[in-house]
Structure 1
Amino acid sequence: MALHLRGTLLPDGTARDLWILGDRIAFDRPSIEADTVADGGFLLPGLVDVHTHPGSPSEGEPAFDPDAFADQIAAHRDAGTTALRFPGLLGEIPEGLRAAPDVPRMITAGRWLAWAGLSKNADFHTVTDDLVAAAVAETKAHDGWCKLMGDWDFEADPVPYDILRAVTDAVHAVGGRVAAHCQSAQGVLNAARAGVDSIEHGMGMPEECVGLMAAQGAAYVPTLTPFARRAPQIIDTPRGRLWHEGHRIMIRRVREAHDAGVTVLAGTDSAPFGNVATEVEHLVAAGLPADVAVGPASWAARDFLGLPGLVEGGLADVTVYDADPRVEPGVLRHPRRIILRGRVVR
């Protein structure tokens, strides 16, 4: 049996009917019987969190916990998040789970990759002397992405530009893309100059990086949610003041990046899982208009990741809301209906 939905499609704002046949969207009434599962409201391409790291235990040393992974991606799903990008996982996705019909679509970049000359104060990083070969291998082994540590802290030297450029060129040569963790000003600048495909965090980002990202088609994933949560805990020390200034710079760069044509995307980075609505609210607070800020967690993110939205033949991921999230972003916390892979999960 097909599924039938009627409502206002976003982002274009047209009111129309759509049908779901298997895992695809159609706009012509099918010849088979259809069950109406939504009549009215606002139909959004399923939410996306482009920076999340499920699988981490709530306590103890960092290690991949398959049970925690399953619970945490279920929390994403139950919040209406139907696609996830993992820019770094502590382990491999449990066999069979990825293709399960009731779990979000997954795009993984494999392991964190850290240059051997980088600070080694985080044991879960994969430290390697041959960063280029490791990045190409991760790209091929996963979903066309690799995750690179462009720096780690404000005191350690970042990865040199020539190494970042060699990695980026090699990954692009095999059709892949590079996500770069960057916090220090020089780390972000090196990554932007090297032509990485997404800059994660961007704390302390120099203003010139905005133009570089715009020219190269790179995305900015600020992950404001965990930084905002930590801000009250950062004490007033020289290092703390540096941290707070970096946080303020991130917030400014969000609006500047958008105004320059950079694709800004929503990622939550850490627990609680299924919390991308909070990231949208932080993007609004950073200066994005509400009607723009929803896109980074939905249609803009899907477009960047190659996941078709509410178009003929698009993937059958739909969330339905009683109010327009472009006007009331808070409604993203309360989906009336969630359809994932063509199946009603709520």
Structure 2
Amino acid sequence: MTALHLRGVVLPEGEERDLWIVNGRIRAEAVPGAETIVDGGYLVPGLVDAHCHIGLAVEDLDGAAQQAEQDRDAGTLLIRDCGSPLDTSPLQERLDLPRIVRAGRHIARPKRYIRGIAEEVDPHDLPRIVAEQAAAGDGWVKLVGDYIDRDLGELAPLWPDDILAEAMKVAHEAGARVTAHVFGPDALAGLIDAGIDCIEHGTGLTDDTIAAMVEHGTALVPTLINIETFPGIAAAGAGKFPRYADQMLDLHARVRPTVRYAIEAGIPVYAGTDAGGGIAHGRIVDEIIALHEAGMTTEQALGAASWTARGWLGWSGIQESSAADIVAYAEDPRVDLNALRHPTRMILRGRVLH
């Protein structure tokens, strides 16, 4: 394989450097005869979508691959897949698709999530199914923490606290981390106290649960562009479930200040679009901009979808011997995040993507 050469301002350090790529790895020392593919501009560690669904709402792996291609073309080179009924592990062998960190299937109680998506289990079976999904995924397990209870007509938790604690122990002993879909406030304390590693959406966070997340080191992926769908969800359910509709409208109305408080409190916050879950793939830049509007600096918001998110998922940024997953831009995205919409070059696994 021909060695590649790039010159540009490397983020997050902000220093102009020369880099070389050999056998998919970054080198800091010059490699004679390397082909220069970037000369100037800004070099960003491959973007990350930390809440994405590859294989959701499609029939087969071809459809899932098309979803991954859409994300890749927007600069996303690493995906944490947050649950899919389709086994997408064969896509991990394709060198032209983003790296995918899989969570297996969602885990929910019967009739307490979207039909056909989750592994539906009774509460006493949760630890056993968590063990199975930990083995099926790539170090993550995805729970449904709350959803509409049709008998109550509103959002309600799915799992007893003691069962959650046992399930977290099982996952952690298997070397897996656990995350959960949570919209409302009532399920959060039990999940956090049980030792969950991440909360998805988190629109129902309060001062107490934000403090608990800080204490436990729990991460948050707020999926802000997904939350923009809440008014439509409320309108669709208002006739049959008016309390649920009111909940969703209230959560939507206060999501930006809620996320701002979480950021200011020091909760690790990462960018995730919820693509596939009613959101189109390829919208990571919209989520980065939404995080900035919610209170992050431009550099923090970019890091939440690049170097800090990569570190959280076990991948490095742009440094000696790290995997060569790089996106180049002509303009500084720290000045205007919309620059992220116009990559000039993408390198994935040391290969130039065309």
Interval of TM-score (by shorter of Structure 1 and Structure 2): over 0.9
Residue aligning to 2:151: none
Residue aligning to 1:303: 311
Contact 1:189-1:205 at 8 Å conserved across structures: no
- Aligned pairs for 1:207-286 (under 5 A) are 207-231=207-231, 234-235=234-235, 238-270=243-275, 271-286=279-294
Contact 1:158-1:186 at 8 Å conserved across structures: no
**Residue 126 (structure 2) pairs with residue 131 (structure 1):** yes
**Residue 154 (structure 2) pairs with residue 149 (structure 1):** no
- Aligned pairs for 1:186-225 (under 5 A) are 186-225=186-225
- Aligned pairs for 1:12-161 (under 5 A) are 12-30=13-31, 32-57=32-57, 64-93=59-88, 95=90, 97-116=91-110, 119=112, 122-129=115-122, 130-153=125-148, 154-161=154-161
Structure 1 residue runs without a partner (length 5+): 58-62
Aligned-partner residue type, residue 120 of structure 2: V
Structure 2 residue runs without a partner (length 5+): 149-153
Contact 2:56-2:86 at 8 Å conserved across structures: no
CA distance in 2, matches of 1:208, 1:33: 59
Runs of 4+ in structure 1 off by over 4 angstroms are none
CA distance in 2, matches of 1:223, 1:36: 37
TM-score by length of 2: 0.90
Residue aligning to 1:60: none
Contact 2:230-2:252 at 8 Å conserved across structures: no
Q: Which moved more, 1:37-46 or 1:140-149?
A: 140-149
1:108 to partner: Cα distance: 0.3
Aligned-partner residue type, residue 39 of structure 1: D
Q: Using a 3 Å threshold, how does the CA distance of structure 1 residues 223 and 327 change in structure 2: closer, same or farther?
A: same
Aligned-partner residue type, residue 38 of structure 1: V
| Partner SS, residue 285 of structure 2 | helix
Q: Which moved more, 1:199-208 or 1:36-45?
A: 199-208
CA deviation profile, 1:216-247 (whole Å, cap 9, x unmatched): 22210011112214436644854333212212
Contact 1:201-1:221 at 8 Å conserved across structures: yes
Q: Using a 3 Å threshold, how does the CA distance of structure 1 residues 94 and 199 change in structure 2: closer, same or farther?
A: closer
Contact 2:230-2:249 at 8 Å conserved across structures: no
TM-score by length of 1: 0.92
Contact 2:44-2:326 at 8 Å conserved across structures: yes
1:85 to partner: Cα distance: 0.8
Contact 1:188-1:206 at 8 Å conserved across structures: no
| Partner SS, residue 69 of structure 1 | helix
Contact 1:135-1:167 at 8 Å conserved across structures: yes
Q: Using a 3 Å threshold, how does the CA distance of structure 1 residues 192 and 251 change in structure 2: closer, same or farther?
A: farther
Aligned-partner residue type, residue 213 of structure 1: M
Contact 2:156-2:186 at 8 Å conserved across structures: no
CA distance in 2, matches of 1:155, 1:201: 14
CA distance in 2, matches of 1:10, 1:74: 24
1:123 to partner: Cα distance: 3.4
CA distance in 2, matches of 1:342, 1:83: 14
Q: 2:298 aligns with which of 286, 290, 294?
A: 290
Aligned-partner residue type, residue 270 of structure 2: L
Alignment coverage as a number of residue pairs: 338
